[in-house]
Amino acid sequence: MFWPLGLSEEGNARPCASWTFRGEPLPYLQENNDSVEPIPPEQPGKPRAFTPIYLRHLRDKRAVERSTIPVENTNGPVLLVSGTDDQMWPSPVLADIAMRRLESHHFRFPFRHLKYEGAGHVIMLPYGPRTMTHIISLNVEGVSGLLYQGGTPGINAEAGADAWRQMLQFFEAADKSRG
């Protein structure tokens, strides 16, 4: 898990974790990470890509181990979707790591990674508008301005439509395999 997307709670300097388990915040990659570097300054009108920053954070093996969610404990099928031009975070790299964890633990449910060449961060359900490759960020501490999502509208739309078909087939097959 990468980033704490919430502001600090009153009386606590630690930013709110993006994910919790049983009400407790989960560790995130930047927390106590020896490889953390400052976020490049915002340049008005120019988008920022965060994938290179995240990749540098992966150098701290202890931080990676501490912030890894044990996907192999999932009690059901796992389908991951990523684009090779995701500029928000290295989704294909992390999905590959999750796949290796599932394989090495002999995961008993079906699992699959759909990786779309040239697609960016915005691989969404089909039939809606898919023209964005940049967004204005949410008001999150340390993240503002124009964020680069990656891909092109056409590639992202094609990836979303194919991922939708693949997802339906994957879960239908997984349901049938349950007997």
Residue 1 domain flag = no
Tokens of 88: 């928000």
Residue 8 domain flag = no
Residue 71 domain flag = yes
Instruction: Give residue-wise pLDDT tens across range 33-78.
Output: 888 777 767 777 777 788 888 899 899 999 999 989 899 999 999 9
**Structure-model confidence comparison of residues 89 and 14, the more confident one:** 89
Instruction: Give residue-wise pLDDT tens across range 139-155.
Output: 455 555 556 678 888 88
Instruction: Give residue-wise pLDDT tens across range 153-169.
Output: 888 888 988 999 999 99
Quote the pLDDT of residue 130: 55
The pTM assigned to this predicted structure is 0.76
Residue 4 domain flag = no
We report the CATH number of the domain holding residue 142 as: 3.40.50.1820
Range of the domain at 143: 20-177
Quote the pLDDT of residue 88: 84
Residue 134 domain flag = yes
The residues near 4 (Cβ < 8 Å, ≥ 6 apart) are 14, 15, 16, 17, 18, 28, 30, 31
Quote the pLDDT of residue 4: 65
Instruction: Give residue-wise pLDDT tens across range 74-127.
Output: 999 999 999 999 988 899 999 999 999 999 999 999 999 999 999 998 887 776
Residue 9 domain flag = no
At 15, is the pLDDT very low, low, confident or very high (cuts 50, 70, 90)?
A: low
Residue 6 domain flag = no
- How many folded domains does the chain comprise? 1
Residue 54 domain flag = yes
The residues near 65 (Cβ < 8 Å, ≥ 6 apart) are none
Element (H, E) at 80: strand 78-83
**Structure-model confidence comparison of residues 12 and 64, the more confident one:** 64
